[in-house]
Structure 1
Amino acid sequence: MHADQGVQRQRIHIGGEADVYNAAMLAYALVQQAGARTLLATEAATVVSELGMNIVKYAGRGSVTVSLQASPRAYVEVQAEDRGPGIADLALALTESYSSRGTLGLGLPGVRRMSDQFDIRSDPGAGTRVRALRWLQDAPARAFDRIDAAPRSADAPLQPAGTPPGWQYGQARRPCYGEVVSGDGCMLQAVQHGTVAGILDVLGHGAEAARLARHCEHWLTANAHADVVGLAEGLHAEVRGSIGLALTLVFVDAQSHQATVTGVGNTRLFCLRVPGLRIDAQPGIVGGNNMPRLRPTRVQITPQDTLLLATDGIEERLTVEQLLPLRRHGVQHVAQQVLRDHGKDHDDATCMVLRCPP
């Protein structure tokens, strides 16, 4: 790690997926250590993952340099370089209809959306160099900003103010193809006697769905308590008459280690252990006319169990057996890999991963 005039800088040689993972986790850790929001750390890791996997797939070898400046104005910068075949048609590669198969599905357009400064140079036969910089403090919104990437406000996705002690938290999300905002949401909140987590999926896509998702995230966090059935019913009353949403909530008791799970719609919770467990939400719509009478499921949680919550933008046929090999990996790695491997392009997709305290 090099430090020049307050800038931390580390270069990682990229030759395979393991190198990309290490570089992404470095970016995530640096941004978190700088005190920035979890969302910004997630997006920094996503940028590294996208650019790094492009190197692996198209050039074979290259490097990613992650730089962080804490003051006077904090930023994280990612530079990716390779000496591969280059990009024949940069204009095409930067269109929203173009993404790199095998990455998180965002491609260069997604990297550009998540950046405050974005530069790319590519010469056929001479390689590609990409630079993406993101301010870690509030900055004026740009015309192409996603709500997901905007400064903290009533319209910005609510991130945990601090992960509850002992818990590990990771999430990855992307909007439906053709949209720049997501109608999915997550929440995580310490409450009396334990922790409440949730994932939600507003019906439809686009700005209207995103606004309702942000409102639900804030409402759930502000009103969180151990009775997740009552919490879900309260949200139903709050958004009654809206376009509606799917929802899964879980409360984990800190003393008994019992998890109480409830949900409505097509969201799911997986417990990654042997034997594994999948809990599907009940049919219905929160905020709609067919809200069911909720029947919570109670399961015993063991220390360091991994819980994975997913919207229906993650393949519905995904099984806990497919996920079990991931349970020893870091939570952010799990979230990103599930989104990359099982996320749908034609729907908002979100994966949230929690690891219980030891």
Structure 2
Amino acid sequence: MTIARSPVLVDCEDVAWFRDQPEAARGAAAALGRRIGLDEQRTAQLVLAVAELAGNLTKHAVDGSLLLRVLRPHAESGAEAASGVEVIAVDSGPGMPDIPAALRDGMSTSGTLGIGLGAVQRLADSYDIHSRPGTGTIQLARFWPRPAPSAARGEPAVAGVTRPISGEQTCGDAWAVRTDSGFLPTVRGRAPSAGPRGDGTPPHGPSAGGRPSWSALTNPLSQQSRSTVPRAAGVRSEAPGRPGPDDARTVSTGRTTPVRAASPGGGEGLLVMSCDGLGHGPQAALAAQAAVQAFRTATGRTPEKVMEEVHRALRGTRGAAVAIARLEPDGRLLFCGIGNITAALVTTADRTTLMSHPGIVGHQVRQLRTYEAQLPAAGVLVMHSDGLSERWSAADLAGLLHHPPAVLATGLLRQAGTRRDDASVVIARSPR
């Protein structure tokens, strides 16, 4: 008899982006390592890796950025309570023609005494790299305490990234993921933070004086399940860029049939939400935070019912565009979207966009509808805000589909993101 293993579930918190700031990135990495309890040696290894990655961005990259954030395993995953740090470095060129050579010790194109990417790979508990000449490079490294928790031994089936509009410190976009097996969801409690961190960033959760916290607003609950979802059915692919029949703002490459009586199947389902608070800045972030909290505690099991609870919770806020999907173990994908969140099923050869309807969650919403489709076994569900252009295709992601969801999300943000609005991407992959 095969016993199903609990999926790896993590929260992403304390997000910070750095551009042309290697010293600030090293300082933030040191502060994060100490705050989450990494020992002195592990913190030093984290800082050393960040210094290498940030230094390479400064020397070689075009439009390079480095992302730092804390990973907190959830009790649902059966993981220990230890937290880790994730580092993502992304740039737009020139790329690496020979990745194995770049990972060999002593390899340097600038004559520096850096530790090299091979050492970063050895120091990290998880490491992934994607590079294409003329396109750029994405690297992901995760650092956990010693001994490493069980979360370090698995790859999340869902991950996302958020980035605020240029000039803002808070992001009005958010994403959230949780599993559902018919029991009321619970939110793992945490002790309140005593004050600002050593790097000057406020603690997670609402801060004193009512200012929203960067981490709580930009990176809500992230959970994953072992849901299995195969090939899309009942969806006809059309030319990308056509507006949907019900919403001129929604690009629809396919048609789905509304399923009014859609119900969850047996086993554990995976609920995924993408949210774009109206506008940007702290007020948009507050709307996103309200949506995330409602999503976490919702008692409804279908996207439609969860959307109803999110709609009620957003009254009194600016409102938001929201999309909610449920991936079932029996292969179905249930979807409900309001506003201009793009949701698509993507394979190496095809992109099929799911139907959303006009409205603002928290203000004006038509009668909600749940649509049903199926996700190809080798495909992914992509959901992103309008901080990304819709002018991307399956071919743009084909070389990234076998990489971790966090790398795939970062690649799409690089490909289609704009700096004129908050941006977010969440990727859900069938974990079978």
Alignment partners' CA distance in 1, 2:386 and 2:282: 19
Q: Which amino acid aligns with 2:341?
A: T
The answer on 1:212 being equivalent to 2:283 is no
Alignment partners' CA distance in 2, 1:222 and 1:286: 17
In structure 2, the partner of 1:179 is 168
In structure 2, the partner of 1:142 is none
The answer on 1:281 being equivalent to 2:356 is yes
Map Cα deviations across residues 82-113 of structure 1 (whole Å, 9 max, x no partner).
xxxxxxxxxxxxxxxxxxx9799xxxxxxxxx
Alignment partners' CA distance in 2, 1:314 and 1:195: 24
Instruction: Report 1:64-103 matches (<5 A).
Output: none
Moved more, 178-187 or 273-282: 273-282
When residues 299 and 346 of structure 1 are mapped into structure 2, their CA distance, relative to the original with a 3 A threshold, is: same
The question of whether the paired residues in 1 share the 8 Å contact of 2:327 and 2:334 is answered with: yes
* Greater relative contact order structure (CA < 8 Å, 6+ sep): 2
TM-score (norm 2): 0.49
* Structure 1 residue 49: Cα displacement: 3.5
Aligned partner (choices 343, 350, 358) of residue 417 of structure 2: 343
* Structure 1 residue 60: Cα displacement: 5.7
In structure 1, the partner of 2:270 is 195
In structure 1, the partner of 2:309 is 234
In structure 2, the partner of 1:308 is 382
More strand by share: 1
When residues 36 and 263 of structure 1 are mapped into structure 2, their CA distance, relative to the original with a 3 A threshold, is: same
* Structure 1 residue 175: Cα displacement: 0.3
When residues 209 and 15 of structure 1 are mapped into structure 2, their CA distance, relative to the original with a 3 A threshold, is: closer
The question of whether the paired residues in 1 share the 8 Å contact of 2:321 and 2:340 is answered with: yes
TM-score (norm 1): 0.59
* Structure 1 residue 292: Cα displacement: 1.4
In structure 2, the partner of 1:36 is 83
Give RMSD over aligned pairs: 4.4
When residues 337 and 288 of structure 1 are mapped into structure 2, their CA distance, relative to the original with a 3 A threshold, is: same
* Structure 1 residue 341: Cα displacement: 2.0
The question of whether the paired residues in 2 share the 8 Å contact of 1:278 and 1:320 is answered with: no
Instruction: Report 1:316-355 matches (<5 A).
Output: 316-355=390-429
When residues 311 and 5 of structure 1 are mapped into structure 2, their CA distance, relative to the original with a 3 A threshold, is: closer
| Residue correspondences, number | 252
The question of whether the paired residues in 2 share the 8 Å contact of 1:166 and 1:356 is answered with: no
Aligned partner (choices 315, 319, 335) of residue 261 of structure 1: 335
The answer on 1:6 being equivalent to 2:53 is no
The question of whether the paired residues in 2 share the 8 Å contact of 1:15 and 1:60 is answered with: no
When residues 276 and 224 of structure 1 are mapped into structure 2, their CA distance, relative to the original with a 3 A threshold, is: farther
* Structure 1 residue 65: Cα displacement: 6.8
Map Cα deviations across residues 112-140 of structure 1 (whole Å, 9 max, x no partner).
xxxxxxxxxxxxxxxxxxxxxx999xxxx
In structure 1, the partner of 2:326 is 251
When residues 247 and 30 of structure 1 are mapped into structure 2, their CA distance, relative to the original with a 3 A threshold, is: closer
Map Cα deviations across residues 175-197 of structure 1 (whole Å, 9 max, x no partner).
01111110001110010131100
The question of whether the paired residues in 1 share the 8 Å contact of 2:71 and 2:83 is answered with: no
The question of whether the paired residues in 1 share the 8 Å contact of 2:95 and 2:136 is answered with: no
5+ residue gaps in structure 2?
1-38, 74-79, 97-107, 126-134, 146-150, 182-267
When residues 49 and 324 of structure 1 are mapped into structure 2, their CA distance, relative to the original with a 3 A threshold, is: closer
The question of whether the paired residues in 1 share the 8 Å contact of 2:172 and 2:422 is answered with: yes
Alignment partners' CA distance in 1, 2:286 and 2:386: 19
Give the 3-state SS of the residue equivalent to 1:232 in structure 2.
Answer: helix
State percent identity of aligned pairs: 22
Alignment partners' CA distance in 1, 2:335 and 2:377: 17
Alignment partners' CA distance in 2, 1:320 and 1:231: 29
Q: Which amino acid aligns with 1:336?
A: T
5+ residue gaps in structure 1?
69-75, 77-100, 105-133, 137-161
Alignment partners' CA distance in 1, 2:40 and 2:282: 41
Alignment partners' CA distance in 1, 2:389 and 2:412: 9
Alignment partners' CA distance in 1, 2:429 and 2:280: 30
